[in-house]
Amino acid sequence: MSDQDLKKTPLYDAHVAAGARMVPFAGYSMPVQYKDGVLKEHLWTREHAGLFDVSHMGQARIRGANGETSPAKAFEKVVSADYQGLKPGKQRYGVLLNAEGGIVDDLMTARPDDDGLFVVVNGACKDNDYAIIARELAGEATVTRLEDRALLALQGPEAAAVLAAHIPEAAQMVFMDARALTAFGVDVIVSRSGYTGEDGYEISAPAGAAERVWNTLLADARVRPIGLGARDSLRLEAGLPLYGHDLDETVSPIEAGLNFAVGKSRREAGDYLGADRIAKELAGELTRVRVNLKVLEGAPAREGAEIADESGAIIGRVTSGGFAPSLGYPIAIGFAPPAFAGLGTKLKVIVRGKPAAAEVVASPFVPNRYVRKL
Amino acid sequence: MRFTKDHEWVVVEGDVATVGITAYAAEQLGDVVFVEVPEAGKTVKQGDGLAVVESVKAASDVYAPVSGEVVEGNAELSDSPETVNALPESGGWFAKIKLANPAEVDALMDRDAYEAFLATL
């Protein structure tokens, strides 16, 4: 894809004006970093508040058809989470599955109001996701893409104080609350969630208001713009998998350690695509699972690096990895047989032909700071 | 100082070339978090991999701009990889190479030619 074919988010001009380095990502021209660089942006978000443009992500409404007031039951055919049990004002993580129980995408689904479900999916997956949802839910629910909306994320320990000045209701929300509100003079959908492990919010706003919201938040000295480079290192430290790297159509949510994305009611009912495999894996039939690795020496082990046991036998592969700015050493996410997944297991990562010591550690690498109660 | 199109620089004193990456390369890489320099005694040909430099974002190879035997790697970069960003064209050097073929240096770009090359990127 040439640069001319890349789509632009409503904040493209603001990024360029701020000195961002723009790169192709999920079909969009996106800021990978601003003038501060990845390291400073990462640490700023952990200490203050970082503002991210994630408008490349897909936003859509799923609404009941043929007089059905809620699309939740129909939607549950293709996702593993319990959405019939999703209360008004709440959001829940889930995975879209194929018939083999592999992950087609991971997504957030919210009930911010009475207008069906509001979903946010990965930018690179959205066309395929919407096609699957429309096909599988035909006659029972409809999918409406919200192409005219931007999505901003405000993340970090000072995010709540910053946003409260503009959206007082935001301070009354807890982690995974989602509300449709009027703020900045427009309709917004706000959730207290994100992809950094920090407290924070995601704000869906009409495209026409995006630059105004962006600039208003950036006018606060506690807020700096943060690019996709730091978004990746922040989510890695938070132990959050990235679709297309740690998750793909061969990986099940159980292998990936996302058991919480398979609702309790859904496990009993087994009424969704891939349910057979998931039931077997929940019963212990697993050949590989996600491992979080602390690399104890040498260079960062990045995506594709092989994982070996202490004897040198190759047992798995790194699916994402890099230097962890908040920890000061390299970390990685990968997959290995369950026998090698116990905390403290000594392993090797092969970087440019050289084995380096690594150890299985708990997830998240950096403790998350979600605000679960006020 | 002489330059390659891969953004390495070379400074020659006697028959030893000190090698590093340019300020432009360091800026493009972003924050350097790991450097692997060659050990003394290693023999390299022009264009061979000489060192590895990793930023938060990615790993990059540093190629030998000249042929010869490595007489010293910059051990300080192991503990202070950020020196590559802070002083790319001085303290952030990667290796010193005893020249096997001094004529290779003459064929590299001078500062003006390198600046002109950067302007085309």
Q: Pick from A39, A46, A233, A245 the residue to mutate for testing the B interface (most B CBs within 10 Å).
A: A39
C-alpha gyration radius of chain B: 13
Provide, as residue numbers in chain A, all residues whose Cβ is less than 8 Å from the Cβ of B34.
298-300, 323, 330
pLDDT in tens, B86-107: 999 999 999 999 999 999 999 9
- Predicted confidence band at A3 (pLDDT cuts at 50, 70, 90)? low
Query: Cβ separation of A229 and B33 shorter than 8 Å?
Result: no
pLDDT in tens, A104-114: 999 999 999 99
Query: Cβ separation of B56 and A38 shorter than 8 Å?
Result: yes
Record: fold of A1-285: Gyrase A; domain 2 (3.30.1360)
Is B47 an 8 Å CB contact of chain A? no
- Average pLDDT for residues B29-39, to the nearest whole number? 94
pLDDT at B58: 86
Q: How far apart are CA A307 and CA A302, in angstroms?
A: 11
Is B72 an 8 Å CB contact of chain A? no
pLDDT at B10: 98
- Average pLDDT for residues A330-352, to the nearest whole number? 97
Helices (H), chain A: 12-17, 38-47, 72-75, 126-136, 159-164, 207-218, 228-237, 264-269, 275-282
Is B33 an 8 Å CB contact of chain A? yes
In the predicted structure, residue A123 carries a pLDDT above the cut 60:
yes
Token pair for A120 = 């946010």
pLDDT in tens, B55-81: 988 899 999 999 999 999 999 999 999
Token pair for A179 = 């509300």
pLDDT at A2: 58
Residues of chain A contacting B, Cβ within 8 Å: 32-33, 37-40, 42, 229, 233, 298-300, 302, 322-323, 325, 330, 352
pLDDT at A5: 87
Contact call for residues A136 and A78 (beta carbons, < 8 A)? yes
Is A140 exposed, middle or buried (CB count within 10 Å of its CB: 0-12, 13-18, 19+)?
Answer: middle
pLDDT in tens, A57-81: 999 999 999 877 789 999 999 998 9
Contact call for residues A165 and A220 (beta carbons, < 8 A)? yes
A193-231 in b/e burial notation, b at 16+ Cβ within 10 A?
bbbbbbbbbbbbbbeebbbebbeebeebebbbbbbbbbb
Which value does ipTM take for this structure?
0.82
pLDDT at B92: 97
DSSP letters for A55-105: TTSEEEEEEE-TT-S--HHHHTTTB-S--TTPPTTBEEEEEEE-TTS-EEE
Nearest to A352 among B33, B52, B56 (CB): B52
Is B59 an 8 Å CB contact of chain A? yes
pLDDT at A307: 98
Residue B30 is which amino acid?
G
Neighbours of B17 (CB within 10 A): 26
**CATH number given to A287-374:** 2.40.30.110
Phi/psi at B102 (nearest 5 deg)?
Answer: -55, -25
pLDDT in tens, A190-224: 999 999 999 999 999 999 999 999 999 999 999 99
Query: Cβ separation of B59 and A233 shorter than 8 Å?
Result: no
Query: Considering only alpha carbons, which residue of chain A is nearest residue B61?
Result: A352
In the predicted structure, residue A271 carries a pLDDT above the cut 90:
no
Domain ranges of chain A: 1-285, 287-374
- Average pLDDT for residues A160-175, to the nearest whole number? 97
Nearest to A38 among B34, B54, B57 (CB): B57
